Structure formats: structure tokens, C-alpha cells
Structure 1
Amino acid sequence: MATPSQFDNDTFQLARDHLQQFVKKTAEQLRGESGRLLEVGPQDRSLVRESFHNFAVETFDIVDTYGPDLVGDITRVNEFIADSAYDVVVCMEVIEHTLNPFDAVKEIRRVLKDGGHLLISAPLNWRIHGPSPDCWRITEHGWNALLRDFDIVEIDILESPGRELFPIRYNVLARCNKTKQSQDSDLTFRFI
């Protein structure tokens, strides 16, 4: 069995606090809105439900272990969810566990209303973790490619202490734009 490194132990709470602050800050920004919210892969966490009390929250997971409202695979079309059914989708620390993150984002975009919000996050500088599989690490440039057909509102970066350009994690707030159909040649990236 692998033992977490000193870095992992030192930054675990920092990463948790960063994620919690992002969720609470975004919930405050959307305080004047309401509607339906889908939380993908919440396990037994309640932060989203507590923070977004002005939304009707439904949960979605690939397994029924934690009693989600809906069981399905976010990387596939889930026909039991209508197009544009949700005003907000929250997908925190899930995308790195999917087999195809591009298909996951495609399905999230399908179920979000035009102009709806996506909160999504994943670690970058973090050890392999469960639930298995843990397949991906996504850089700032990767988020821009992955969310190319969204309007990115904010990329919230938790830098690694003493190590620039290798953040611990990213939280992203994006707005669904159903009219966007970006090509690779349309992408531009911030120079680092």
C-alpha cells in the first residue's frame, strides 16, 4: 500500500479549503438565480447542497453506493435526462476519474441550459487517488481545450507552494454556450 508523501499531507487541507472557498464563492455569485442543479459524483459530501440552497439539487453518479438521485455514466448520453434540463452542473474532482473527459464535457453541455453554469475541478499536482481509475491531470491549457465550447468565466488556480507552473489544482467556472462550435484552430492560449 502506498503512503502519502509529506507534500500530500502538507497540502491536503489547503486543497480542500480551496475547493470549499470556490464552491461557496460561486454559490454567492449565483444567489439571485434559481432552478435545477445537477451534482456529478458527490459521494456523501453535502457542501453543494448546503451552498446552493436556492437550487433544486439532484445527484448523479456512476454507481449507487451513496444513493444518488440518478445513476449513469457522464461520458455517455443519458437519455433519461432531457437536453438543457439543468441551470447548473457541478462536477468537482470527478473528471480525472472518467475514461473520456471530452465525452463527459459533451454530456454536461447537453444537459445544461444555454447560459447555464458549470463548476468543474480536478487536481494537477496531486498523487494518484481513488476511486479508481484515476486517469487524467489537466493543465490550464487543457481546461481551455476541454471547455472550448463554453465561455470560461474563471480559472481558479491553487499554486503549489514554492513551485510555480505546477498548480495543485484548478477550479473552473464556465457558462454554457450552445452556439459555440470551436475548431482546434480557434483555440488560443495564455503565454506562460
Structure 2
Amino acid sequence: MRIQQGFLTYNPTLDRYEIDYQQTLGIIANELLLQLLLKSRKYLKGRLLDLGCGHRPYALIYDSLVDMSIGTEVTFSPHGTHAADVICFAEYLPFRHQQFDTILCTEVLEHTTNPFQVMREIERLLKPGGHLIISVPFIYPIHELPHDYWRFTIYGISMLCRNAGLEILHTYTKGDLVATILVLGHQIAMRTLGFVNHILQIDPPLFSYSKVRWLICQPQWWYLKASRWLQQRLSTITNNTDVVADYSISYSSQ
């Protein structure tokens, strides 16, 4: 039996998480972020704040690991607010100081008007020894218009964290050149389909059909399969297992 939360599904029998292509066509971006979050499970504990939680897909991962969680959203979120506990801006979070052991902030900072203030709020809310897990896009098309304001290099996001008084224990990049090309290619395909739908007045739109969605996702699935195979081969050759260092800031780019 599969459990679903937003675009994320979980199979308890196989202990496997998957991205549902019927809910999102951004397979690569979401899958790579999922892999980083699964590596970060040891830091998901205590009281957790999920900033910009959307449909709260990652609750499938953290619900069994934390004592309690709170999700926030803004009124104009394209994902809706039904899964959020608190409606507020990330720049002004209505919680007392040092309330959370873990703060999760995935693909949110680029949509805030003042990321410096957001980082100060995060630092204010973290308990001593708490952890922030944060991801931001880098090379990625404008999305969720008109609330898409920033792109961060690994140096930019690191600077934001340090200026807020956070200690960076580790940083990651998400994806590579091929992944970036595929993500951009996916966006071009989606916008082309949107243009065709508009010109030909197709209703329902082409990308609502399961077979069309399956076809769009094929290059992304093949890339992920090839990437996993290569990682397994390298692990076998070097006789190493995957070790993740302790960290409080996770940076990811697309």
C-alpha cells in the first residue's frame, strides 16, 4: 500500500519514496532534493518548522522522526494553504525565540522579498544546537509568478547563513550539467505545450493526459537511472559506503 502526500509517495513495504508524475512533472529537481533530505534524516527531530510547506510532501519523511511539526504558508501560495498550520510571511514568523530543533526551508527563499530578514528569523527561532536544512535553486526558470525574486550561488547562500549567525557544517550542490539541461528542456517542453494549447484551444490541456506526462518524464527518469547506476559502480570500485557529514545548512542548485 502506498501513502501519498502531495507529489511524494511512500511504500512502507519497500521503504521507498517516489515522485508522482501525475502530481508534478519536475521529476529531476524533486528527486534530487528528495535524496538530499533522506540523507539528512538524522537532523529531523524534536519540534520542526516547515517553512513554505506547500502540500507538505516531506511530512512523509519527518512525521515519524519529530515530536511535532508546524507548517507555514502565504495566502497567495499556488500550492494552496490547506496543509499549513499558520499563514504568515517568512520574514515575520509569529513564534517565540528558540522554539524549534529543526527548520526545513526547501525552495522557498527565492520567493521571499527579504531573504536577509528570513535568515535572521530562522536564527532567532532555532534552539541552541538546532539545525536548518535549506535548499534554493540556482539555474532555474522563473516560476510561481510574480513572486520569484532571487537566485543564489553557493557563496551567496553561505554568506546569508553566516551573516545570520549560523554555522555552516556542510553544503551540497543538487544535480550537474546534464540535470540542468534536462530541467531547462523540460521547462521549454511545458511552455511549448502551453503555447499549442492556447493556439489550438485544446481543453483539457495536453499535459493533463497521463500518456503525455509519461512521455515528458522519460528523459528525466533515464537520467536518474543512469546516475544511480554510476554511483553504485563508483561505490563498488572504491569499496566505500555513502557517508554524510554533520551539517546544518544544505545548499542545492539546479
Task: Give TM-score scaled by structure 2 length.
Answer: 0.55
Q: Percentage identity across aligned positions?
A: 28
Correspondence list, 1:110-129, <5 A:
110-129=124-143
Q: What is aligned with 1:186?
A: none
Q: What is aligned with 1:103?
A: 117
Q: Is the 8 A contact 1:90 1:118 kept in 2?
A: yes
Whole-angstrom distance in 1 between the partners of 2:128 and 2:154: 24
Q: Is the 8 A contact 2:46 2:101 kept in 1?
A: yes
Question: Unaligned stretches of 5+ in structure 2?
Answer: 1-24, 185-246, 250-254
Q: What is aligned with 1:66?
A: 81
How far residue 114 of structure 1 moved from its aligned partner, in angstroms, is: 1.5
Q: Is the 8 A contact 1:97 1:131 kept in 2?
A: no
Task: Give TM-score scaled by structure 1 length.
Answer: 0.72
Whole-angstrom distance in 2 between the partners of 1:39 and 1:153: 20
Describe the SS at the equivalent of 1:136: coil
Alignment partner of 1:75 out of 63, 68, 91: 91
Moved more, 109-118 or 62-71: 62-71
Correspondence list, 1:110-149, <5 A:
110-130=124-144, 132-148=146-162, 149=165
CA distance 1:87–1:128, change in 2 (3 Å): same
Alignment partner of 2:60 out of 37, 50, 57: 50
Q: What is aligned with 2:105?
A: 91
Whole-angstrom distance in 1 between the partners of 2:152 and 2:99: 27
Question: Unaligned stretches of 5+ in structure 1?
Answer: 1-10, 176-192
Amino acid at match of 1:60: T
Whole-angstrom distance in 2 between the partners of 1:138 and 1:50: 28
Whole-angstrom distance in 2 between the partners of 1:17 and 1:132: 25
Q: What is aligned with 1:24?
A: 38
Whole-angstrom distance in 2 between the partners of 1:106 and 1:71: 19
Whole-angstrom distance in 2 between the partners of 1:131 and 1:93: 14
Q: Is the 8 A contact 1:75 1:98 kept in 2?
A: yes
Provide, for residues 2-25 of structure 1, a one-character-per-residue CA deviation record: whole Å limited to 9, x for no partner.
xxxxxxxxx942221110011111
Q: Is the 8 A contact 1:117 1:174 kept in 2?
A: yes
Describe the SS at the equivalent of 1:126: coil
How far residue 42 of structure 1 moved from its aligned partner, in angstroms, is: 1.3
Whole-angstrom distance in 2 between the partners of 1:46 and 1:122: 17
Q: Is the 8 A contact 2:43 2:131 kept in 1?
A: no
Amino acid at match of 2:158: N
Whole-angstrom distance in 2 between the partners of 1:13 and 1:163: 10
How far residue 160 of structure 1 moved from its aligned partner, in angstroms, is: 3.2
- After superposing on structure 2, the runs of 4+ consecutive aligned residues of structure 1 that deviate more than 6 Å are none
* Equivalent residue pairs, number: 152
Q: Is the 8 A contact 2:49 2:102 kept in 1?
A: yes
Correspondence list, 1:148-159, <5 A:
148=162, 149-159=165-175
What RMSD, in angstroms, separates the aligned Cα atoms of the two structures?
2.3
Amino acid at match of 1:174: S
Max Rg structure:
2
Amino acid at match of 1:39: D
Whole-angstrom distance in 2 between the partners of 1:97 and 1:163: 22
Compare the two structures and name the one with the higher helix fraction: 2
Correspondence list, 1:165-184, <5 A:
173-174=247-248
